[in-house]
Structure 1
Amino acid sequence: MASKSKDVVTTYDVDTYRSQFIGARRILSANDQKRIKLVLTARKYLGTPYDFGAKYGQTKTFDCSSFMKWIFDKYDIELPRISRNQAKEGKYVSKSNLDTGDLVFFTTTDSKGEIGHVGMYVGNGMMIHTYGEGGVKYSTIESGWWDEHYVTARRVID
């Protein structure tokens, strides 16, 4: 709880207030909680170097699809290793209906019009992904390169 006297969070044992407890309500669904956990886990890897073809199962480097596979596997959501195969998972979702945790797919310079990149939508027109210099980072999908190369999105969490 917030402290009355300072700008800090104070922690108390729940038994301290048991006689005053009226009830509780879950604000976020289990799937909403999973979406948030995906983002919080992904952001732990901000700055991790990009390496095309990075071996799955290690965390020193990632490519886009190994990064998504790694993050989603942490929450028992199995994805294929390659982005164009990941784009066949779950169900289609329009760009205007994206939700946190949706996979977003793009073409790249080398993918010859096919899907060659994947990121995870985090809200407010942003995704977390890894590509090129800077490795794992946030990027907008509403303007610039990623907007121009957007292909589709898939929802793997209902």
Structure 2
Amino acid sequence: MTISTHKFHIYRFFICLIFLATSYSCKSSKQVEAKKSNPSEIVTKKVSDEPTKYIEPKTEPEHNVVEAEEIVKSKAEYIIAYAKQFQGVKYRWGGTTKAGIDCSGLIYESFKSQDITLPRISRDMAKKGKKIALKKVHTGDLLFFKTGNRRNSINHVGLIVAIRNNDIEFIHASTKKGVIISHLNEIYWLKAFHEARRIL
């Protein structure tokens, strides 16, 4: 082998080394660039083909309405329970105690037990609250009557304590029998009935 041939082989060997090094370097840089240029593989999420379902959030007013209804119901129950403590007490005009009580006194004291102040006279009580139809009354509502010889003005009041079998039961102070529970379906009371009102 001559010297020039030997040099040629050495030269070709170095050329091969340089080519291999360059190829490897290019391949590595391309892989790095590929990774850098495709960040979506890491950060993107698969989007579902299903339509988004709208779930209506629960609002506070619903809870507030329910709580308000429970408070009214509770007040009515306490007022009725207080009034029933007077059952059997004799009638006394202007009375407000178990020694004797009149119809408006019974209602006045029963509502007062729940910090609700009403006028002392039945015809003035009938100016408070909201007038309602009989078919819409609840326990705790008031019934107003025009009785006896004074049918031109309200002179009697009762508190609804129960509604059963299409009949309304109310507690009141009767002049003859004292504090009793009567039925609106009784002919006398049905004829004397004037209006129903809601205070609560």
**Post-superposition, which runs of at least 4 consecutive aligned residues in structure 1 deviate over 6 A?**
none
Q: Does 1:42 align with 2:83?
A: yes
Q: TM-score, normalised by structure 2?
A: 0.61
Q: How far has the Cα of 1:100 moved from its partner?
A: 0.5
Higher helix share: 2
Greater relative contact order structure (CA < 8 Å, 6+ sep): 1
Q: Considering only CA atoms, is the larger Rg found in Structure 1 or Structure 2?
A: 2
Aligned residues: 130
Aligned equivalent of 2:100, options 56, 61, 73: 61
Q: Does 1:152 align with 2:195?
A: yes
Q: Does 1:100 align with 2:136?
A: no
d(CA) in 2 for partners of 1:154 and 1:106? Answer: 12
Q: Secondary structure at the match of 1:29?
A: helix
d(CA) in 2 for partners of 1:145 and 1:116? Answer: 15
d(CA) in 2 for partners of 1:50 and 1:122? Answer: 19
* RMSD of equivalent CA atoms: 1.7
Q: Does 1:126 align with 2:165?
A: no
Q: How far has the Cα of 1:132 moved from its partner?
A: 1.9
Q: Secondary structure at the match of 2:118?
A: coil
What is the identity, as a one-letter code, of the residue corresponding to 1:78? Answer: T
Q: TM-score, normalised by structure 1?
A: 0.77
Residues 110, 63 of structure 1: alpha-carbon distance in 2 compared, 3 angstrom cutoff? farther
